[in-house]
């Protein structure tokens, strides 16, 4: 065949090939047509297969190099032998129990690839019924806290368990043989196995004593019940049985006894979803609590007035019932109407008091007895066991310790050097001992002083059993292998008893002997045990005791505190509680539901005093010449009182908590054998010129007469169900548009919030944070108003500063069908889904923040900095342990992009896939958003608005339902239901006004020069 050449070079190369061809026949076999096709020589001729391989190799190598430049290669190691129950990408749920000596909650833990990442409430629990508390939600992060102890320690040096065990046993034996006294100090122990174990321990080492110490105690209540009922117990309160709830300084929705349970009961009847009536709630209190801010009537009183009002109330009821009355000074508050209302709802009322004061508790018992509430709204047959500590035992222990009467002390999950009022004496006592052991999760203020520090396992790494109420059991099981070299307290005690059994064996043993025989459902113990572990709870219906009879005792009002100054109230914040979890950044950054403050404690001062003395937010005052704290002017704080939260001022909790706020436990006093957290008089002086920054997430506190959170009274609601929401229909009719109203085939997701069921506890905020990997940004950035929470709880005060009404509304992305944010994004990073979701494409977002501005609800959050893996934001996202809590289904957002509530799109997707695999549609209620799932008030409903039978659809047709800023025609998918107050028509001040003007007996503090 002829060969054509195009250039001299080609001609020459053809010549050359021809020459070679003569030598090598193989080339001749090259099919000729290769050369026929024009340009083919470029493709095939000039590049050999070897070249191709070279190019390929180079290309792949280069691509590898380039990708390697961007991110370090991290190896994901697959299972060599995959555990049967773990499927990568599929979550496992385990039932377990949260109990820390203060709060109880039955929970489900979500595990992904072996690591627990989220806590949900256990719906099977008869106590908490699927609800959780913000602190419970956040406890998952405690597991991955870098400040946890990693190794056992002796005299601040790391050591081994074997060494510790040997020495502790030797010393315990030494003390025991010498006839010395050793003490095990624990918080309330409600585990039947652990109680049994402690008893065995005391038998093993004679002379050992077990004392219960609760940081926040209910000791007066226990004593009062012992005096009245011969039963040292806390009754089971039934808020769902009451038509009239009267609280005296009892924050039962926030911190008192069993808040999750009480919230479930309280909101069930007040939600107005199924019934047309709701109980009335009247709260007398000395600081603005979460509970008080939800009350229909809230009456600010001084702590010293509490027992006087109570005794007056008792007298009014007693005289109506023909019982004995007692002399008492006149009530500072008009309570005639209250007495009438209580008498009108005998057996259906409930008076509770949260003050650790014997006088008040005895009067409250007497009132409830007169009203016949025992057996109906108060149940002593199944007492609540979560608080058992007696303050006088602890006080006696401290005295003995100082006098050198105690030679050994095993501190088990307690931190009295931080949270006991006489902490210094306790610390001094500790120094004189032969043996001090602290079993604790972190090297806290007390553990620092102990000879031996035994790292305790987190509750998510431990086996446990609990008896929360009599006969009502709850199980604990580990959901992860131990993260550090820790050992759970009970295992340590077993070792020291020279018993090599594991605590799990011990529990099983105990249950097999003591509890298993009491049931008849299961034939074998193994089956019973598995079932109980699976469900997480077990109720022994047979074990209820009888209702004890009431024996009355002499009543008297408390004595007025002496001295001058303000009556001090110490309270627990929703987020920090007693301070145990102060090192949890989620909790530190959770805005207080009342003050909206984060990261600090402060002095809540009454607005009248603030105005008189020109004190304003962030001015610094000196309390009792000792504690310097910033002030926060708190509407509703009674004149003559100040309130400060405990739980701050930790010095040894970890780097998040250390140095935040001030410790005010030392300001509590021990009187009449009980620790008193309120009522003591303190002085307050302004530190002139000094200011301390506070990070509040909300700085304007009234609604400016805008119809945002719409409200009405019960009477109005019963007359017209759309009371307070009359404008809704008008706005819907006026909402004309030239554009097509978006229609959705298939699902159209929507959410509804019942403002009557929402108490504002903040559980949803933390739940959302855990589910959606929301970053913690620290105090300074919160102060810059850049908090990242996808859901916030707006709190508004009505105008009267001395006792405002409080209304809250949770606000998250409203997923508007006509969203202002979507139009304005230049790169279409926030489009609308075919199911009505307003979505964020993080990869597409360039961060113009136009959407942030144009969102009327201001729910969009911008990543102002790189929050993950940044030294400057040294919280849980800056270490490898903290990152284990991340939800792998949700992207961690990088710097410069906007984020916001996604309606938990990952959950929607998972539910859709599940339904698809089972070849069905999504069943209403199976799909729950994170905020909804563990809401203790069941205030949130999520579902398909296109499904005619769904719960959300029913709410849409409810006359109470409206949308926030609906007049803007944004067509939000989030709906709100009006807040209904159970108030009389007349002004509340007529009902509970002060009978006399009580000037606050305060001398103005000397001003520093």
Under the rule (CB under 8 A), what is the footprint of other proteins?
698-706, 708, 781, 784-787, 792, 794-796, 811, 820, 823-828, 841, 844-850, 852-854, 856-858, 860-866, 894-898, 964-965, 968, 970
Q: Which is nearer to other proteins, 152 or 591 (CB)?
A: 591
The residues pairing with 685 across neighbouring beta strands, listed in sequence order, are 622
* Nearest-approach distance from CB 701 to other proteins, in angstroms: 8
Output the smallest distance, CB 291 to other proteins, in A. 21
H-only helix segments in 230-325: 259-270, 290-294, 303-321
The sign of the dihedral angle between the CA atoms of 934, 937, 939, 943 is: positive
d(CA 971, CA 95): 40
Cα(397)–Cα(402) distance, integer angstroms: 9
Separation CA 461–CA 35 (nearest Å):
74
By C-beta, is 327 or 705 nearer to other proteins?
A: 705
DSSP secondary structure letter of residue 830 = S
Tell me how far, at minimum, the Cβ of 495 lies from other proteins, in Å. 50
Least CB distance to other proteins at residue 753 (A): 15
Distance between CA 686 and CA 682 in Å, rounded?
A: 13
Instruction: Compute the least distance from the CB of residue 848 to other proteins, in Å.
Output: 6
Q: Report residue 283 CA to chain centroid gap.
A: 23
Dist CA 654 CA 650 (whole Å): 8
> Per DSSP, which regions of 494-539 are E strands?
537-539
CB atoms within 10 A of CB 37: 10
Which residues, in sequence order, are bridge partners of residue 923? none
Q: Pick between residue 484 and residue 850 the one whose CB is nearest to other proteins.
A: 850
In this complex, which beta carbon is closest to other proteins, that of residue 269 or of residue 860? 860
Q: How far are the Cα atoms of 302, 570, 994 from residue 998, in angstroms, in the given order?
A: 10, 22, 8
Place of tokens 């809250």: 808
Q: Where are the alpha helices (DSSP H) in 561-602?
A: 585-588
Place of tokens 């019960």: 714
Strands, sheet with 115-121, edge to edge from the N-terminal-most edge strand: 92-99, 104-112, 115-121
Give the strands of the sheet with 940-944, arranged side by side.
940-944, 749-754, 974-977, 961-962
User: C-beta of 770: minimal distance to other proteins in Å?
Assistant: 21
Report the residue number, 129 or 815, with the smaller CB distance to other proteins: 815
Helix, strand, coil % in the chain, rounded to nearest 5 = 30, 20, 50
For residues 809 and 708, what is the distance between their CA atoms, to the nearest angstrom? 9
User: Which pair of structure tokens corresponds to residue 455?
Assistant: 């790292």
- How many residues can be counted in the chain? 1009
Contact 479/547 with Cβ under 8 angstroms?
A: no
Closest distance to other proteins from the beta carbon of 829 (Å): 8
Q: Please report how close the Cβ of residue 857 comes to other proteins at its closest, in angstroms.
A: 6
Q: Which residues pair with 181 in a beta bridge?
A: none
**Across-strand partners of 619?**
691
Q: Furthest-apart CA pair in the chain: how many Å? A: 133
Question: CA end-to-end span of the chain, whole Å?
Answer: 112
- Of the pair 513, 858, the CB lying nearest other proteins is at 858
Torsion angle, CA of 219/222/224/225, rounded to 10 degrees?
Answer: 170
Give me the least distance between CB of 704 and other proteins, in Å please.
5
Compute the least distance from the CB of residue 728 to other proteins, in Å: 16
Q: What is the DSSP letter of 77?
A: P
Shortest separation between residue 971's beta carbon and other proteins, angstroms: 13
Q: 330 vs 704, which CB is nearer to other proteins?
A: 704
Q: Measured from the CB atom, is 91 or 727 closer to other proteins? A: 727
Rank residues 113 and 866 by Cβ distance to other proteins and give the closer one: 866
Q: Cβ closer to other proteins: 858 or 989?
A: 858
Tell me the closest approach of the beta carbon of residue 772 to other proteins, in angstroms: 16
Pick 636 or 666: Cβ nearer other proteins: 636
Task: Report yes or no: 330 and 312 within 8 Å, Cβ to Cβ.
Answer: yes
Residue whose CB is less far from other proteins, 735 or 848: 848
* Token pair belonging to 239: 């808020």
CB of 765 to other proteins, least distance (A): 14
Tokens of 159: 């050591």
Q: How many helices (H) and strands (E) does the chain have?
A: 31, 40
Closest approach of other proteins to the CB of residue 851, in Å: 8
Q: Which is nearer to other proteins, 784 or 1001 (CB)?
A: 784
Provide, rounded to whole angstroms, the least separation between the CB of residue 691 and other proteins. Answer: 16
Query: Any bridge partners for residue 994, and if so which?
Result: 333
Q: Which is nearer to other proteins, 785 or 916 (CB)?
A: 785
Min. distance of Cβ 296 from other proteins in angstroms?
A: 23
Nearer to other proteins, 347 or 831 (CB): 831
Nearer to other proteins, 21 or 896 (CB): 896
What does the DSSP assignment read for 763-826?
Answer: HHHHHHHHHTTPPP-HHHHHHTT----SSEEEEEE-S-SSS--EEEEEE-----TT-HHHHH-T
């Amino acid at each position: 065949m002829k060969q054509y050449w195009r250039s001299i070079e080609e001609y020459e190369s053809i010549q050359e090939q021809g020459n070679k061809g003569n030598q090598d026949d193989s080339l001749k076999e090259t099919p000729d047509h290769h050369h026929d096709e024009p340009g083919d020589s470029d493709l095939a001729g000039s590049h050999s297969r070897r070249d191709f391989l070279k190019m390929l190799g180079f290309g792949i190598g280069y691509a590898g190099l380039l990708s390697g430049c961007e991110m370090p290669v991290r190896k994901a190691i697959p299972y060599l032998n995959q555990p049967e129950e773990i499927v990568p990408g599929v979550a496992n749920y385990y039932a377990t129990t949260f109990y820390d000596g203060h709060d109880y909650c039955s929970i489900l833990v979500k595990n992904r690839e072996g690591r627990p990442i989220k806590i949900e409430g256990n719906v099977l629990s008869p106590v908490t019924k699927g609800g959780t508390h913000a602190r419970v939600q956040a406890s998952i992060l405690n597991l991955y806290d870098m400040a946890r102890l990693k190794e056992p320690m002796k005299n601040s040096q790391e050591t081994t368990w074997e060494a510790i065990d040997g020495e502790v046993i030797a010393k315990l034996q030494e003390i025991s043989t010498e006839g010395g006294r050793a003490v095990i100090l624990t918080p309330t122990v409600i585990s039947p196995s652990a109680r049994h174990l402690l008893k065995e321990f005391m038998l093993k080492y004679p002379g050992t004593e077990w004392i219960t110490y609760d940081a926040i105690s209910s000791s007066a209540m226990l004593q009062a019940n012992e005096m009245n009922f011969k039963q040292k117990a806390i009754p089971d309160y039934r808020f769902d049985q009451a038509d009239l709830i009267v609280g005296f300084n009892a924050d039962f929705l926030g911190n008192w006894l069993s808040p999750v349970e009480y919230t479930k009961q309280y909101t069930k009847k007040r939600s107005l979803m199924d019934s047309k009536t709701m109980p009335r709630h009247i709260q007398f209190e000395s600081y603005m609590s979460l509970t008080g801010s939800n009350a229909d009537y809230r009456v600010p009183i001084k702590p010293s007035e509490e027992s006087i009002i109570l005794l007056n109330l008792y007298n009014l009821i007693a005289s109506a019932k023909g019982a004995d009355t007692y002399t008492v000074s006149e009530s500072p508050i008009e309570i005639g109407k209250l007495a009438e209302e209580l008498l009108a709802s005998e057996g259906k009322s409930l008076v509770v008091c949260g003050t650790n004061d014997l006088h008040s508790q005895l009067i409250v018992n007497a009132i409830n007895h007169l009203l016949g509430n025992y057996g109906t709204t108060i149940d002593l047959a199944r007492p609540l066991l979560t608080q058992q500590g007696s303050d006088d035992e602890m006080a006696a222990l401290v005295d003995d310790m100082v006098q050198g009467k105690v030679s050994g002390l095993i501190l088990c999950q307690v931190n009295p050097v931080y949270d006991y009022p006489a902490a210094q004496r306790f610390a001094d006592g500790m120094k004189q001992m032969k043996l001090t052991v602290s079993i604790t999760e972190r090297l806290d203020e007390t553990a620092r002083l102990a000879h031996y520090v035994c790292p305790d396992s987190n509750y998510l790494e431990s086996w446990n059993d609990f008896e929360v109420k009599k006969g009502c059991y709850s199980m604990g099981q580990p959901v992860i292998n131990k993260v550090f070299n820790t050992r759970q307290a009970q295992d340590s005690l077993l070792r020291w008893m020279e018993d090599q059994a594991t605590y799990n064996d011990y529990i099983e043993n105990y249950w097999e002997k003591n509890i298993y025989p009491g049931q008849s459902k299961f034939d074998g113990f193994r089956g019973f045990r598995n079932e109980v572990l699976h469900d997480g709870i077990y109720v022994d219906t047979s074990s209820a005791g009888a209702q004890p009879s009431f024996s009355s005792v002499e009543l008297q009002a408390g004595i007025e505190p002496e001295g001058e100054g303000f009556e001090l109230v110490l309270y627990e914040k929703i987020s920090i509680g007693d301070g145990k979890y102060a090192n949890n950044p989620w909790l530190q950054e959770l805005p207080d539901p009342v003050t909206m403050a984060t990261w600090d404690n402060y002095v809540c001062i009454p607005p009248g005093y603030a105005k008189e003395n020109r004190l304003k937010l962030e001015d610094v005052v000196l309390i009792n010449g000792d504690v310097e704290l910033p002030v926060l002017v708190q509407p509703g704080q009674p004149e003559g009182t100040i309130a400060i939260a405990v739980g701050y001022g930790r010095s040894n909790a970890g780097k998040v908590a250390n140095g935040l706020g001030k410790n005010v436990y030392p300001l509590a006093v021990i009187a009449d054998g009980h620790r008193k957290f309120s009522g003591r008089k303190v002085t307050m002086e302004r530190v002139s010129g000094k200011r301390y920054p506070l990070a509040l997430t909300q700085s304007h506190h009234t609604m400016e007469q805008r119809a945002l959170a719409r409200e009405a009274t019960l009477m109005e609601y019963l007359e017209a169900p759309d009371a307070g929401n009359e404008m809704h229909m008008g706005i819907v009719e006026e909402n004309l548009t030239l554009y097509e109203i978006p229609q959705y085939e298939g699902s159209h997701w929507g959410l509804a919030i019942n403002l009557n069921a929402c108490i504002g506890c903040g559980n949803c905020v933390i739940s959302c944070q855990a589910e959606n990997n929301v970053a913690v940004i620290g105090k300074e950035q919160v102060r810059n108003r850049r908090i990242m929470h996808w859901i916030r709880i707006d709190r508004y005060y009505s105008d009267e500063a001395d006792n405002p009404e409080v209304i809250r509304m949770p606000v998250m992305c409203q997923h508007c069908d006509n969203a202002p944010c979507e139009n304005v994004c230049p790169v279409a990073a926030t489009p609308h889904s075919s199911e009505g979701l307003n979505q964020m494409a993080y990869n597409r977002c360039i961060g113009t923040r136009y959407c942030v501005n144009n969102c009327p609800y201001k729910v969009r959050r911008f990543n102002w900095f790189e929050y993950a893996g940044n030294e400057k934001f040294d919280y849980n996202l800056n270490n490898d342990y903290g990152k284990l809590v991340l939800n792998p289904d949700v992207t961690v957002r990088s710097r410069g992009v906007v984020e916001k509530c996604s309606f938990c799109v990952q959950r929607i997707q998972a539910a859709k896939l599940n339904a698809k695999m089972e070849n069905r549609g999504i069943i209403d209620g199976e799909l729950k958003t994170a905020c909804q799932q563990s809401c203790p008030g069941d205030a949130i409903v999520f579902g398909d608005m296109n499904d005619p039978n769904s719960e959300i659809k029913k709410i849409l047709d409810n006359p109470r339902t409206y949308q926030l800023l609906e007049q803007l025609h944004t067509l939000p998918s989030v709906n709100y239901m009006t807040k209904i107050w159970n108030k009389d028509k007349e002004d509340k001040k007529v009902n509970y006004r002060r009978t006399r003007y009580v000037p606050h007996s305060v001398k103005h503090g000397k001003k520093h020069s």
